[in-house]
Structure 1
């Protein structure tokens, strides 16, 4: 039975809080964390590479200022990508590394960055063609036995990749791209695999990565038209409807909202209480694909 980490819905995505986006000061990190907690968002999604390997430590500086924050939050982070950056001068090419040594070293560096002695969730960031499942299992077992990692999962893994790895180590989460403009997981087996194996899916870019704010998507007009009909019916905003559409799926998708504004997270929090009818869900799917179901 998988350990329940009681992650919030939504999860706050922190990729753009630092160097890759808003360049938050320590005070701004702390204020954003506190705003999230005030609206009931207690889970924060990171990866070691964010901000060219700087965002975890900056977030950790805010936690170190207020020692009471750590016990109130859930820390999620990812490892396995090696980026070429001045902060990692020994990396010569962007690559993947899921060796036992690298996973343990990455997790321990994340612990140091955050100023904590445990991670609530550790994910493998991308499927690695050279992944040796027994090494991953040994790394995770070591970290869990030491109390350094509570729950383990993957990110961007396809069903066959999940099934291969879970023969060696229990998988509790799979963070995937799924949204109104990325509907493949509803049909390619990813979400079916999550239900079958009691894996909780997390959705990155659950609002389409901003593509619904302009005319770039081929079904932009039909999606926004359908959503506008539902905003009136459910007395909710566009973003709330798009998140509610994900929430309606039986796999219990947890949206990861990558924003620097707590208002966006508050909108997604409201969406957790909205469940679309089946016909409304398929109205949105038709708008996204341009086709009725068979």
Structure 2
């Protein structure tokens, strides 16, 4: 997977409402920058964004072998496209996982998914049932690896009792640093799980102290504050892959600059202390 993952959540009707031509342009731009991993979820765009992305991908068959497609399943979302859904819920049953995979394969117009994640913890999860679904998808060649999103360490451990967990997509940024000390990133390092960071820029709304710290260092390194925030995550030894969910090509270019930044310990902890709002003990 690429060091920076391209998030597609806002490309469709939830925000930018890209045309097929715009999907093509963003995909091509990302890949030209070495960003080959694209993050999806079945629910994005109320179950429409995967199909829109797939329509663009169909026009360029050669792209598929050059990219990695990540998607997520397990959320029951109330929307017009799913009239049978009357309340938000989570579903990790074998039948739901298998059907979700088939739907994503069809919508993305591909015959395999590189990674499939369980989107949010289902408190009724049966690890053995999940294992059966994953085994069927893996042996059929439809999904090459599996992971989770937004799990606690104990929930990951429970699932690991029956299946390997290769990826954990979690929230971590200069706005939310809890993953650094609640065991989630430690678990990733210990168990060889790849951590992906969703909302790696904190949604763009940051405390003044964080903005100041990022801006000061950004001037020193001649990059944007956003690139500095990504570089800060990239430097963590767990190997965090930020999921950059932009709708603008120029923001992908700015994000790429983060790959060339090397912070020293004092610079890294300057940002950390600004993020926590406290000094180190």
Q: What is the TM-score when the length of structure 2 is the normalising length? A: 0.98
The corresponding residue for 1:140 is: 134
Match of 2:151 among 138, 153, 157: 157
- Per-residue Cα deviation, 1:96-133 (whole angstroms, up to 9, x for no partner): 00001100110011000011100011000001100110
Equivalent residue for 1:99, pick from 88, 93, 113 = 93
State yes or no: 1:82 paired with 2:76: yes
Q: Structure 1 residue 239: deviation in Å? A: 0.9
Q: Secondary structure at the match of 2:202?
A: coil
Assess if the C-alpha contact under 8 Å between 1:9 and 1:269 holds in 2. no
Counterpart residue number, 2:253: 266
Structure 1 segments of 4+ aligned residues over 3 angstroms from their partners: none
- Residues 1-294 of structure 1: pairs in structure 2 closer than 5 A: 7-212=1-206, 220-294=207-281
Shift of 1:273: 2.0
Tell me by how many angstroms 1:263 deviates. 1.6
Q: Which one is further off, 88-97 or 249-258?
A: 88-97
Residues 247 and 275, structure 1, Cα contact 8 Å, conserved in 2: no
Gaps of 5+ in 1: 1-6, 213-219
Q: Report the Cα offset of residue 167 of structure 1.
A: 1.0
Higher mean C-alpha displacement, 224-233 vs 93-102: 224-233
| C-alpha distance in structure 1 between counterparts of 2:271 and 2:23, whole Å | 36
Q: How many residues align?
A: 281
SS at match of 1:117: coil
Q: Contact 1:119–1:148 (CA<8 Å) still a contact in 2?
A: yes
Provide the secondary structure at the position in 2 that maps to 1:195. Answer: helix
CA contact (8 A) 1:56 1:114 kept: yes
TM norm structure 1: 0.94
